[in-house]
Homo-oligomer: A and B are copies of this chain.
Amino acid sequence: MAGIKDVAALAGVSISTVSYVMSGKRSIGEATKKRVLEAARQLGYMPNAQARFLRGEPTKVLALSSPLHEYTDYSNYAVFFFSLAMRAKRYGYDILLLMHEYGDQELTRVASSGMVDGILLLDVAMCDARADVAKTLNLPVVAVGYPSNSDGIYSVDLDFERMGREAMERAYALGHRHVLIVGTEGTAYDDGSNYLVRFRDTATKKGDDLGVSVLFKPSTGYSRDDVNLMLDEALSEEPGISLIICQTNAVHITNLLAALQARGLKVPEDVSVLAACTYGLGSLPRRVDEMPMMPKETCSRAVDLMMEVLQSKRNDVGHVELLPSRYQARGTVAAH
């Protein structure tokens, strides 16, 4: 690969002149400029980025930390990945994918390597170790998600607590007094998966306040049989359930709808169904009321925020932005 020295030699100038021609940070005589540009073109010269990075210039790369759990659904990650990557590209930034089980060392490694200008966090836990590590990093860290230890990072997330409250307020207003929350796998909650826990806990608490009983059932599987087993349990514990809030995936909801139909329960006449914290439900046989996740909006805002920090337009670590979810009415939630 041709270096700045080669270009300088071919053009018969000093390397500083070449540098200034390339950067345009100094006015150069027309003739000289022409010769340098021609030499650069001829040699296919491109400035070695490593040398510039060594001098502290931005790498125009953002690390994306995405931990993997057993319950991680790869295809669900895709939306977040692409949303982040597309938005970053707008600003001329590329994404360095960091897939790791426990994020701590990886973050320190990539930060101290100087390979990235900032770090994005995905799949944030309620108390996320990475948010603590962030403080020692002197690189901006923006989380798509809102951990409880959010000082030290910037956080962008949907307002899942508000979502939980609003879901219950709506339920209460419509006369529902017994609600079932169907969750994803229990381990996701145990690991403290952020939005799941926030929504569930706030909804449960709000239910307590309003006098609405909330039964929570994590799933042990997404099959028709799993759903039936879960329904048997739930309905025997609380026969009065009139609203089911699904905090789970399309396959699971599909099987739930089928199971309800098989039991002769009509939606929404006999039982209302609401999906919350979901997205990509387009393949459902029947569209259901939804308080969607809106990953694209959240991710875009996260990247925008990162850029504001990188461009020194703001400097308020610990800042949290919670976006409201827009309720999508589709006729599967009715009064009871």
Contacts and interface: CB of A to CB of B under 8 A. Distances in A.
Nearest to A48: B114
Contacts of A114: 48-50
Contacts of A138: 1
A51 B54 contact: yes
Interface centre among A49, A51, A89 (most CB of B within 10 A): A49
A128 interface: no
Contact of A48 (B82, B112, B280): B112
B82 A115 contact: no
A112 B61 contact: no
Interface string A296-320: 0000000000000000000000000
A236 interface: no
A68 to B, nearest CB: 8
Interface in A99-148: 99-100, 108-110, 112-115, 136, 138
B89 A82 contact: no
A334 interface: no
Interface in A263-319: 280, 283
Interface residues of A, number: 42
Interface in A42-61: 44, 46, 48-51, 53-54, 59, 61
B74 A97 contact: no
28 contacts: A1-B138, A46-B112, A46-B113, A48-B54, A48-B112, A48-B113, A49-B112, A49-B115, A50-B50, A50-B114, A50-B115, A51-B54, A53-B53, A54-B54, A61-B115, A64-B97, A74-B82, A75-B78, A77-B78, A82-B99, A85-B97, A85-B99, A86-B99, A94-B97, A94-B98, A95-B96, A96-B97, A251-B283
Interface of A: 1, 44, 46, 48-51, 53-54, 59, 61, 64, 74-75, 77-79, 81-82, 85-86, 89, 94-100, 108-110, 112-115, 136, 138, 250-251, 280, 283
